[in-house]
A and B are shown apart, each in its own frame.
Chain A
Amino acid sequence: MIAPTTPVADGRRDELLVVRCQLGERSAFDELVERWHPPLWKYVRRVTGDDDAAQDAVQDIWLRVLRGIHRLRDGSKLRAWLFGIAHHVVMDRLRSQYASPTVDGIDLENVAVDESPPGFDDDAATLHHELTQLPVTEREVLTLFYLRELSLTEVADVLGVPVGTVKSRLFRARHLLRRELESKGRHA
């Protein structure tokens, strides 16, 4: 494995992985799965809030990745491309789950995952629980930006919205999260 982890080096490593996959190297696909399955799973799990739904969605995501990677022009954008596919798969599934017949995102705005409250034995668990209480749109943008560490531009690419919209969603998400934490006597 190659040591340094600057954004440029990460981009180059991603591109190398994509080029090897596009050549048809079997081991490159194993590395792709090894490297990207855990973050994709965590993202999908966090947005869907359900293990079974996340498992189904992740299989669908990988199917699309395997069938579409030969068309990826710029391998350095692998991260945004993968999360973009994940975003579309998850949103499609949530739309059918909640049978939203109308405008993109309208019903999802108010969808929060119903999970039993955790023991609040540490800050991470508390934060996770509060994240699951946010509407999907806000939960997703926080997950991508903070937990998956995508840049604003990458988040915008993934969600297919302008950077300004990402900023406003982040602002709203942080505000909602802070309000939730403060209402429970904790600091954001």
Chain B
Amino acid sequence: MNPTYDTITSPEDPSSVRRLVNAELSVASRMGYVALGLAAAIMTAIVASLWMTEPSLPTRTQIGFGAMVGIGLSWVGFATWVLTHRRPLLADHRIVAGRMAVTFTSLFVIGAVVLGLASGGSAPYAAAALGVAMLAIAIVLLVRAHRVSTRLRERRAALERELGRSAG
């Protein structure tokens, strides 16, 4: 077949690309990875707090705790990598993810403090301390997400005004 201007443009129908967009922009998938990262972080904090508050553990147990912390951190790293490279969080997604992070880490801190008060042990307080650090990070991320979103919305409004004027 001769490749004329008309014939070479036939496969430019974007329906296959639309399917790709649908798959790539899945919010459920993104939030799944956010939940995975949070769950892994919280589990790692629990294991780390147990490890830190038991000083006289045998070496093999210490190695076991270290391995579990390492595995937990790997999952956190994997979720972070996916959310920055494969399923990047857009402004609105970042706000949802930030709210999830603040909610889950707050619940974790409250639970750890309640458990500490009830049991009197030191491990729940260590977990609460780690939870407070995670909560602080979550709040910073949420504030930044709101800032980015506000900046983009302001820019969108300005551009719409500008283009509206030039059209009118």
B147 at the interface (CB under 8 A from A): no
Give Cα A29–Cα B90 distance, bound, in whole angstroms: 12
The A164-179 residues at the B interface (CB cut-off 8 A) are: none
Which chain B residues lie closer than 8 Å to A121 at the CB level?
A: 4
Knowing A19-B159, A22-B152, say if A30 contacts B4 (CB, 8 Å): no
Chain B residues in 8 Å Cβ range of A95 = none
Q: Are B25 and A26 in contact (CB under 8 A)?
A: yes
CB proximity of B7 to chain A, nearest CB, Å: 9
- At the interface, yes or no: A99 with Cβ under 8 Å from chain B? no
Check if B91 is an interface residue, CB within 8 A of chain A.
Answer: yes
Contact A62 B9 (CB under 8 A): no
Does residue A116 face the partner (Cβ distance < 8 Å to B)? yes
How many residues in A have their beta carbons less than 8 Å from beta carbons of B?
50
Chain A residues contacting B86 (CB-CB under 8 Å) are 67
* In contact, A13 and B163 (Cβ under 8 angstroms): yes
- Asked if A16 contacts B156 (CB within 8 A), the reply is yes
Known: A2-B167, A55-B11. A21 touches B24 (CB 8 A): no
- In this complex, what residue of B is CB-closest to A40? B12
Contact B21 A23 (CB under 8 A): no
**Is A42 in contact with B9, judged by CB distance below 8 angstroms?**
yes
Interface residues in chain A, defined as those with a beta carbon under 8 Å from any beta carbon in chain B: 2-4, 9, 12-13, 15-16, 19-24, 26, 29-30, 33-34, 37-38, 41-42, 45-46, 49, 51, 54-55, 58-59, 62-63, 66-68, 70-71, 115-119, 121-122, 124-125, 128-129, 132
Can you show 19 pairs from A to B with CB atoms below 8 A apart? Answer: A12-B163, A13-B163, A16-B163, A22-B90, A22-B152, A24-B91, A24-B92, A29-B21, A37-B12, A42-B12, A45-B11, A46-B8, A49-B3, A70-B88, A119-B2, A122-B4, A125-B4, A128-B3, A128-B5
